[in-house]
Amino acid sequence: MGGRNHSERVIGGTPEEQRLAMEELQGVFDETDPKLVGYEVEKSTDEKAMIEKVEAIVDEMVEKWGGDPKPVPLKKIQVLKPGAVDATSDGSYGGRGVHKPLRANIGVERTGSRVGFGSVLAHELFHLKSYKSAQIDKWTKEVDLYRSGFSMIDRKNPPGEFGKKREYFSDLEEGIVAECANRFFDRMKSEPLFEKEMAANEKIKQWVLNACRRREMPKEKLRILEREWKYIPDAEKYAQQIESFSEVETEREDFAWGTFSYLYENNKVEIRERYSQRNRLYQLCDEICAKSGGRFVDSEAVFNEFAKANFTGNYLTIGRVVDGALGKGSFRRLAEETSGDPRNNDARKP
């Protein structure tokens, strides 16, 4: 199939075991995810164009954060029938995209929205293009994921949980990826493949926000709606309907509000993904910025350090930043506080 698997290195085991592990990783890299094959549909010309564009933008962004993005063969980005992600992940994820870090495989469900397809794909690509390394399990000798971006899988034998693996920083990694996907989303506004739908979506968003302001929605609620709005399906159709409904702007706003409310009640409004993980990251960046003694001009500068660590795999700088601002041992504590069971992340929803 061509290309090298994405793991930078294998840790643990003997040199010979490491060589065999690399061969095994190359083997799974050279095949598509067999679990998803039954749900795969043939990619349309349009989907192929979107995949090519989205990957190019993601790579460019990853490079800006110091990463070394590896190509993902087209065959390994599988377009799936709607509902496939739930069907192949015990129904517990509820997302439309899935990625396998060691396999370097992505599945994205087909949707009527280009913006929806592109943004889910970008999210999963940011996971894949994060720093990767593998490990040989000390007891079972199996090849396992060690690092995926900011996260690290380890057996730390916590009391009473002998041999249980933990994924340290897993919530933080998810927050970083979701925030990168957020920035990608905003960039879609100026991409020819997505700009028409993005413009229609933005129009509806502004009508709805204006309607909310006239209804004196509390400022905090308004701020969250503005920040977390992603898109509504069929935005171009709805924008046309709203425009032809009236020439009067306030009437358009009210009509847009009615449309939005209806779609929201029917779970059709897409909001930005991973709210709690991103919020945690925002708070952390704010706190570090405030306590950094002027080292960082703003929270954005702190976020850039987290993103750099995610894509280069280097914990050293960010560890010093965290401990320097929040006190010795804070980085270690953060690893625990944002950890999870790696099995829960076998398939990640966006």
Return the number of the residue (95 or 208) whose C-beta is nearest Zn ion: 95
Return the number of the residue (76 or 348) whose C-beta is nearest Zn ion: 348
Q: Are 40 and 79 in contact (CB under 8 A)?
A: yes
Shortest reach from residue 152's CB to Zn ion, in Å: 16
* Candidate ranges 58-66, 157-165, 222-230, 342-350; the one touching Zn ion (CB under 5 A): 342-350
DSSP assignment letter at 140: T
Query: Binders of Zn ion: how many residues, by CB under 5 A?
Result: 1
Closest CA to 229 of 207, 244, 255, 248: 207
Closest CA to 10 of 146, 102, 163, 141: 146
Shortest reach from residue 127's CB to Zn ion, in Å: 6
Return the number of the residue (115 or 178) whose C-beta is nearest Zn ion: 178
Residues 33-72 that bind Zn ion (CB under 5 A): none
Return the number of the residue (106 or 325) whose C-beta is nearest Zn ion: 106
3-state helix, strand, coil in the chain (%, to 5): 55, 10, 35
Q: Which residues contact 229 (CB under 8 A, 6 or more apart)?
A: 205, 208, 269, 271, 272
Return the number of the residue (121 or 198) whose C-beta is nearest Zn ion: 121
Shortest reach from residue 302's CB to Zn ion, in Å: 21
Q: Coil, strand or helix: which one is 324? A: helix
Shortest reach from residue 188's CB to Zn ion, in Å: 18
d(Cα 134, Cα 28) in Å, to the nearest integer? Answer: 13
Would you count residue 348 as binding Zn ion (CB under 5 A)? Answer: yes
Return the number of the residue (177 or 288) whose C-beta is nearest Zn ion: 177
Shortest reach from residue 14's CB to Zn ion, in Å: 34
Structure tokens at 96: 């439309």
Q: Which helix (H) or strand (E) holds 85?
A: helix 84-88
Q: Are 122 and 97 in contact (CB under 8 A)?
A: no
Return the number of the residue (325 or 347) whose C-beta is nearest Zn ion: 347
Shortest reach from residue 273's CB to Zn ion, in Å: 7
Shortest reach from residue 340's CB to Zn ion, in Å: 12
Shortest reach from residue 128's CB to Zn ion, in Å: 10
Shortest reach from residue 274's CB to Zn ion, in Å: 7
* Candidate ranges 70-78, 140-148, 211-219, 341-349; the one touching Zn ion (CB under 5 A): 341-349
Q: Which residues contact 304 (CB under 8 A, 6 or more apart)?
A: 65
Which residue minimizes CB distance to Zn ion? 348
In angstroms, the Cα distances linking 134 to 137, 145, 230, 265 are: 10, 4, 34, 44
Q: Are 335 and 168 in contact (CB under 8 A)?
A: yes
Burial bucket for residue 98 (CB in 10 Å: 0-12, 13-18, 19+): buried
Return the number of the residue (103 or 348) whose C-beta is nearest Zn ion: 348
Return the number of the residue (59 or 173) whose C-beta is nearest Zn ion: 173
Strands of 20-104, DSSP E: 77-80, 97-100
d(Cα 64, Cα 68) in Å, to the nearest integer? Answer: 10
Q: How many helices (H) and strands (E) does the chain have?
A: 14, 10
* Candidate ranges 30-38, 55-63, 134-142, 340-348; the one touching Zn ion (CB under 5 A): 340-348
**Residues in contact with Zn ion, shown as a per-residue x/- string from 289 to 328 under the rule CB under 5 A:** ----------------------------------------
Query: What residues make contact with Zn ion under the rule CB under 5 A?
Result: 348
